[in-house]
Amino acid sequence: MGKKLLCALSLLFCVTFAEAQITQTVTGTVIEKETKLPLPGVNVLLADTLGAVGAVTDLNGVFILRSVPLGRRSFRFSFIGYKETSLNNILVTSGKELSLAVEMEESVEALQEIVIQASASNEPMNDMAVVSVRAFTVEETDRYAGSRGDPARMASNFAGVQGADDSRNDIVIRGNSPQGVLWQLEGINIPNPNHFSIPGTAGGPVSIINNKILANSDFYTGAFPAEYGNSIAGVFDLRMRNGNNRRHEFSGQLGFLGTEVFGEGPLSKKHTSSYLFNYRYSTLSLFSSLGIDIGTSAVPKYQDMAFRLNFPLAGGGSISAFGIGGDSDIDILISEQKKPERNLYGENDRDQYFSTNMGVTGLSYTKPLGSNTLMKATLAASAGSQDAQHYYIYRHVDAEGFYAVDSLPQILGYQFNQAKYSAILTFYQKLNAKNSLVYGFNNDLYSFNFLDSARVLQDDGVDFSEFTTRWNSQEQSLLLQPYVQWKHKFNDRLSLVSGLHSQYFSLSKSFSPIEPRAGLAWQMGRGQSLNAGVGLHSQIQPTYLYFYSKPGASGLYNQEMDFTKSVHYVASYAKMVTANIRFKTEVYYQYLYNIPVERNSSSFSLVNTGAGFSRFFPDSLVNTGRSRNYGIEFTLDRAFTGGYFFMLTTSLFESKYKGSDGVLRDTDFNGNYAVNALFTKEWTTRKDNLIGLGTKITAAGGRRYGPADPVASEREKEVIYVDETRNSLQFPPYFRADIRINYRINRPKLSHEIAVDLVNVLGIKNVLKLSWAPDQTDPSADPIRREYQLGFLPLFYYRVDFSL
């Protein structure tokens, strides 16, 4: 059977066609950067054909380039009175048409074609963004070794960004807690878009967002523009792309992380409307049954989907319907184990049943208001939920040395449901060639439903109390965020961006009336630029904390928590060392205040939370905590030309905080340094096939921790740290090497790709944390043990793309 399957695959790959060169059609839309309105009459050229392949955009800004050779190609866009724009080394394959989205900026100096090139490879999509921002492409989420098609894991390669945990995609930006990251999709502030998400976190083990649905998007690490609120660390501004409105195209993929199908195409032959959809179902159970280590003995199950329908309207407007969603569950049944087994997602003294889901659906309407203004209105609904049940295992070791279960009383159960209804209105307005505005509001109506029940451990540290409801809360609240931004271009090389943001949260009556933001960008000439930015930012707290109070407390003592606030100062310098190599350095200082800390003197601070698989339940909180992050970052990267690419990033930083005890300490995430080195090489073989080899090496300082209190840990059945010496110790340095190998086969209207990611190829044992894991087969063993990150993990996928 295996030989027959191998022969069938070999025949599929080796089908030969006529020797004529395979070409592809490239389509796209060109819009003005400030107003987002289409630009007709733009000259589009395939850069390496000496003008032999070209086109001109029509009244809707649309162009079609036919007979484009396969491989990496560059495109040039020129228009009188606008800066020439280039898209370089974009991969053209045979299985799918390439669609480009291009924005061009009007010049303020002369009515001619300006040869100040704006390379769209890493320039931000947002015209108001000046510092600490980088655009990323869908290809980058696949190209970087170890990224797994995940925007968050890809972003961990950038300067100032680190992964918090190999088994999750939480990211630490400049020493900030991962919960300070905001996720946006189509301008909507969305719930945590990851499977197995924990309340109060912004990450998870597997992303729900499939990179195949994304257009070029922006990622911010500080001092972001006024349109972004409710975040103090960073922003993912994700944009969905429209489906192909000319031809039906499909993909199928089988891989370690799931089996998925994808489709796009026109909804009507008479109109330019289009559809796009994706569905994925997990296949980890298959690989676990084959004996492949998936990082845990319990098998996670999940599925997710996405769609987008786009309907262009007469006059340049459009209506779009879109959505993403996913659900996941895992059953960690320690009671069925005869010997201890590895579980990254649970503790070894209980059975755990855990499930999550999230979804977003929305409707957007865009309409030009005259020749210089575009309005975009969006209505959306989103929801996220977590359901967990824990059963404590009373067991003993039998005569043969195996575990035998005595009883399984339930000790914890919670159902957290949070829905949100959003209304977003944005205006893009160009006053003249030098001045433009972006203004509007982003309003959310929250609906909370939090139920939590538990048995509390008795004073003897052995028995539990009766199973009781700790809290059951239903509430609604408004989060209102108006803003305005203004950009003034003194000339084509110097521009100023300023703006105001305001934020009001009705649940706690928190109000931040004026949050100023400003940025300055100076193109100095000779490939050099100098930028600076400053801004005040605020964020609500993890929402379940507003409703939590300890048993016996009178009322909800945390419901009046104010915003955490943060002031960002950033300056950057960049220089093109050669035509393809860029050096960039960025320095920053961030001051955080109004941070919730415990009312009673302690080392607790909310800046240390937001990563991992556990909720946290502090005592009564007050907004008196302080923190500061400062550092310097370096990036040296080479554009993907000549068949290879590299990027080197280095971050040197300090991250300190004060709890209510007034002691200055390292934050949990103060690793002090992080270094990434990435390299990718591609070879084109006969018949335009492609072989790629990518490597990534990461070295970083270890996480902070402190001595554990063995008596308190024994009593609470979890690791309890000595409060006075919190974060006085540091785990050993982190090191990981990843390798990616891919092979793409191009055939007319069909392409195959096989890719292998070897994560932690050297099998380095990096320490993650301390955990409470008593071994009843060896009572003398220390129950507090080091828990390690993922070891060697091979990932692969096979994908086929084809068009009709």
- Asked whether residue 86 falls in the same domain as residue 214, the answer is no
The percent of residues above 90 in pLDDT, for the chain, comes to 72
> Which tops the pLDDT comparison, 614 or 162?
162
Asked if residue 202 and residue 64 are part of one domain, the reply reads no
**Among residues 64, 93, 120, which one ends one of the domains?**
120
Closest to 153 measured CA to CA, from 641, 757, 761: 757
Average pLDDT for residues 107-128, to the nearest whole number?
65
pLDDT tens across 371-424, in order?
Answer: 999 999 999 999 999 999 999 888 888 888 788 888 899 989 999 999 999 999
Please report whether residue 322 resides in a domain. Answer: yes
Question: Which backbone phi and psi does 741 adopt, to 5 degrees?
Answer: -130, 130
Kindly tell me if the per-residue pLDDT of 348 is higher than 90: no
Does the pLDDT at position 52 exceed 80? no
Instruction: Check residues 99 and 142 and name the one with the higher pLDDT.
Output: 99
Q: Indicate if the pLDDT at residue 290 is higher than 70.
A: no
State residue 13's pLDDT score: 45
Distance of alpha carbon 662 from the chain centroid: 34
Closest CA to 180 of 232, 252, 223: 232
Residues 636 and 575: their CA atoms lie apart, in Å, by 10
pLDDT at 286: 72
CA distance 437 to 114: 23
**Per-residue pLDDT at 179 exceeds 90:** yes
SS3 content of the chain, % helix, strand, coil (to 5): 10, 55, 35
Residue 349 located in a structural domain: yes
Chain Cα centroid distance, residue 302: 18
Q: Report the length, in residues, of the chain.
A: 804
CATH number at residue 47: 2.60.40.4130
* pLDDT given at position 140: 86
pLDDT, residue 469, reads 86
The reply to whether 74 and 210 lie within a common domain is no
Task: Note the pLDDT of residue 271.
Answer: 84
pLDDT exceeds 70 at position 442? yes
**Residue 12: predicted pLDDT:** 45
Domain edge (last residue) among 120, 147, 171: 120
Shared domain check, 300 and 417: yes
Flag whether 5 is in a domain.
no
Q: Is residue 4 part of a domain?
A: no
- Residue pLDDT, tens place only, 242-270: 999 999 999 999 998 899 999 999 998 88
How far apart CA 106 and CA 104 sit, in angstroms, is 7
pLDDT score of 358 more than 70 = yes
Max distance between CA atoms of the chain, in angstroms, equals 91
Residues 90 and 162 both lie in one domain: no
132 in any annotated domain: no
Confidence label for 292 from pLDDT (cuts 50, 70 and 90): low
Q: Residue 75 is part of which domain span?
A: 24-120
Task: Say yes or no: 200 and 276 in one domain.
Answer: yes
Q: Both 55 and 155 in a single domain?
A: no
Structure tokens that stand for 725 in this block: 């010496």
- Strand locations in 70-186 (E): 71-78, 83-92, 98-104, 114-119, 133-136, 161-163, 171-173, 181-185
Domain count of the fold of the chain: 2
Q: What is the pLDDT of residue 203?
A: 92
pLDDT(558) > 70: yes
Which pair of structure tokens corresponds to residue 786? 């080091």
User: What is the per-residue pLDDT for 343?
Assistant: 56
Is position 793 within any domain?
A: yes
What is d(CA 564, CA 200) in angstroms, rounded to the nearest whole number? 14
Give the closest residue to 639 by CA, choosing from 211, 235, 143, 237.
Answer: 143
Query: The CATH number of the domain where 681 resides is what?
Result: 2.40.170.20
The Cα 167–Cα 148 span in angstroms is: 12
Q: How far apart are CA 8 and CA 67, in angstroms?
A: 31
Rounded-to-integer distance, Cα 95 and Cα 804, Å: 10
Residues 112 and 233 in one domain: no
Question: Is the domain of 100 the same as that of 159?
Answer: no
State which of 120, 147, 181 marks the end of a domain: 120
Residue 128 lies in a domain: no
Q: Judge if 108 and 174 occupy the same domain.
A: no
Indicate the Cα dihedral angle 156, 240, 322, 360, nearest 10°.
10
Question: Which pLDDT value is given to residue 313?
Answer: 93
Q: Establish if 8 belongs to a structural domain.
A: no
For residues 190-207, average pLDDT: 94
Residue 14 has pLDDT above 80, yes or no: no
Return mean pLDDT, the chain.
90
What single letter denotes the amino acid at residue 66?
R
* Closest to 692 measured CA to CA, from 33, 82, 91, 132: 91
Residue 11: what pLDDT?
A: 45
Say what percent of the chain tops pLDDT 70. Answer: 92
Please say whether the beta carbons of 276 and 245 come within 8 A: no
| pLDDT for residue 336 is more than 70 | yes
What does the pLDDT read at residue 16? 41
Residue 458 has what pLDDT? Answer: 66
Q: Is the pLDDT of residue 695 over 80?
A: yes
89 and 160 within one domain: no
Closest Cα to residue 40, out of 82, 79, 83, 1?
79
Same domain, yes or no: 226 and 255:
yes
